[in-house]
Structure formats: structure tokens, C-alpha cells
Amino acid sequence: MLTAPVSSRWILRLMLGGASALPLGLTWYNPFWLRYAVGLFVLLFVITAWQQWAGWSRLGSWLTAAVVLAIFWGSMSLIWLFLESSWSRVLLLAVTVFFTWWYLREWHRLRLTLFLGEAGAGATPTLVVGFLSTFALSAAAESFLVFLNLPWWLLELCFYLPVVVLVICFAYASGWSLARRWHYWFTGILVLLQVFVLATWWPTSFYVVGFTMAAAFALVALVLRQEAQGFISRRSFSRELSLVLVAFVLVLFTARWF
């Protein structure tokens, strides 16, 4: 009796993950179909939110999961606009499909095995998808600053606000009280703002800018998660922090500066 529902859920998540590539594929086939692609993304988001998260008892967890997914799809769409080679577009399609499926699977697993709202219950999927979204948003911001003749502060604000939302969602998913412990996540937002403004003006590739901002997001997120858990896993925290720092240093030293 339990096999059919579980199987249907697995097939549904697989279908939703594959469908997330359709809007991007439309613009690849015909760039003038952008408005249809946006409409398809909105429709797909409504279907996903209803099928995956309907009936959750905690509104905050439902909003967190849905908002992070919306930012992920939006960030993938923005960086898609600046990809020129076929292999990079195929890679982005694969990343979008896989991590959409993985994100939906993780939140459904947490729904079945943990109490929603439990400290740290949704931290891992939010961290991973937030890292990818921050990379895409920062890389797209660098590209828009070059190609659009708009005030730089306006572009910075438009691309930074989703990062702020990701930090807040991650803090909530990690078990923070957003009202009583606001100074923790707000400090992280200020740190990311400084990195964001600095990195988007670096004379280098937008991939380097994107990874720099994503690494900064990961560092802030790791500190927030460990602080929420009372630093009960210092060895794991040190390992994760060292991995991010080493990758960050390698990227900066091997990047082409021009």
C-alpha cells in the first residue's frame, strides 16, 4: 500500500526537475520567446509549490522552501542570458534539473523524518541551493554592469536583495529566531554586502566574481548554522570551513586578472 504513493512522489519530483529545463530550452530555441519562458517558470513554480508543500503545518518552512527554489530558478535564468557556448548551456541545464530534483527530494525527506521547524532541519538543502544561486546572481550582476547603461547602485541593489533573502531563509531553516536573534543574520548580510560591492568591480572573469560571492555566502552560512547548533560539531565545521577557504584562495590565485 505504501509503494505506490512513494513511487508516484519520486516520479513527480523527477518530472518537475526535468520540466525546470523547459523554460531555458525555449529561449535557447528562440530568444524572442522569453516572455513565454517566464510564464512557464511561473506556472511550474505554482504546480511545484502546490504538489510538494501543500498541507505543511508550518507556514514558515513552506515559505522558506518555496522562496529558495524561486530564487534558484531565477538566478539560473539570469546567468543563462550570458552563456554563449553550447557546452556551458548544456551544463547549466543539467545543474538546474539535478539540483531541482535533489532540493525537492531533500525537503520531502525532511518532512517525513523530522519535525518541520526543528533547528537545522532544512539547513543543508538551503545552503547548497543558496550557494549555487549566489554564484549565478553575482556572475549575472557583473555581466549586467558591463552591458546595461543603468546606475550601478540600482543594479547592485536588484541583484543583492535576493542574496539577502537567501541569508534570511537559511537563518530560519537553521533554527534561528529571526526577530530575537536578528543581529546575527543582519551582520552576515552586511559582510556579504561589502564583498558584493567589492567583487563586482574586480577586473576579472564573472565566474571568479560569482565564486567569490558564493564562497562568502557559504562562510557566513556555515557560521550561522554552527552557532545555531551551539558548535556541537567543531570538527565538521573546521573541515567545511577549510574546504571553502582553500577553494577560494585557489580561485583567486589562478584567476586571470585583466
pLDDT digits (tens, 9 = 90+) for 142-171: 778 777 777 777 877 888 899 999 999 888
Residue type, 40: L
Helix (H) or strand (E) holding 83: none
> What mean pLDDT comes out for the span 192-202?
81
Alpha carbons 47 and 60: distance in angstroms, whole number = 19
Assess contact for 99 and 42: CB atoms under 8 A. Answer: no
Helix (H, G, I), strand (E, B) or coil at 33: helix
Cβ neighbour number for residue 150 with a 10 Å cutoff: 11
Q: What is the pLDDT of residues 16-74, one digit of tens each?
A: 888 888 889 888 888 888 888 888 889 988 888 777 665 555 667 778 888 999 999 99
Helix (H, G, I), strand (E, B) or coil at 204: strand
Give residue 162's pLDDT.
93
Helix (H, G, I), strand (E, B) or coil at 58: coil
Residue type, 200: T
Residue 149 CB partners (closer than 8 Å, separation 6+): none
Alpha carbons 21 and 27: distance in angstroms, whole number = 10
